[in-house]
Amino acid sequence: MVRFARVYDERTDETPRVLVDRLWPRGVAKGSGAFDEWLRDVAPSHELRRWYGHVADRFPEFAARYRAELETEPAASALARLRELAAGGEVTLVTSTKELELSHLAVLAEELPAG
């Protein structure tokens, strides 16, 4: 099972939390325990993220372009690691993005094993 959370949300369980943003979140101290692993290379490229801008009408095209990025290195290796973590049970994908359902997390969840 894949869950979504914002990095600023209080941790409520022991489910592994994986930060999947390219940039370190503002206001979060390293070693704060907000997440267990950081897979920055699985995040969308800066160019794709800027183009998308969380415009809802662009989401289908964003998802297609993002999936194409996930097939190339280093994103493919980071995705393989994320799949490995998800295969072990529940995992929480963590981001600083406000709109979780219109973010790269929704695309990543579809790329992970069903739990």
Q: pLDDT (tens digit, 9 = 90+) per residue, 42-58?
A: 999 999 999 999 999 99
The model's confidence at residue 13, banded by pLDDT at 50, 70 and 90, is confident
Predicted pLDDT at 69 = 98
Region 31-38: mean pLDDT is 87
H-helix or E-strand containing 62?
Answer: helix 59-70
For 90, the token pair is: 């529940």
The model's confidence at residue 2, banded by pLDDT at 50, 70 and 90, is very high
pLDDT at 114 over 80: no
Range of the domain at 82: 2-111
- Tell which residue, 105, 112, 94, 14, has the closest CA to residue 59: 105
Predicted pLDDT at 20 = 97
Region 37-45: mean pLDDT is 97
- How many Å apart are CA 113 and CA 50, to the nearest integer? 28
pTM equals: 0.91
Predicted pLDDT at 30 = 83
The SS3 of residue 2 is strand
- The DSSP bridge pattern shows strands 37-38 and 17-19 to be parallel
Calculate the average pLDDT of the chain.
Answer: 93
Q: Give the number of domains in the chain.
A: 1
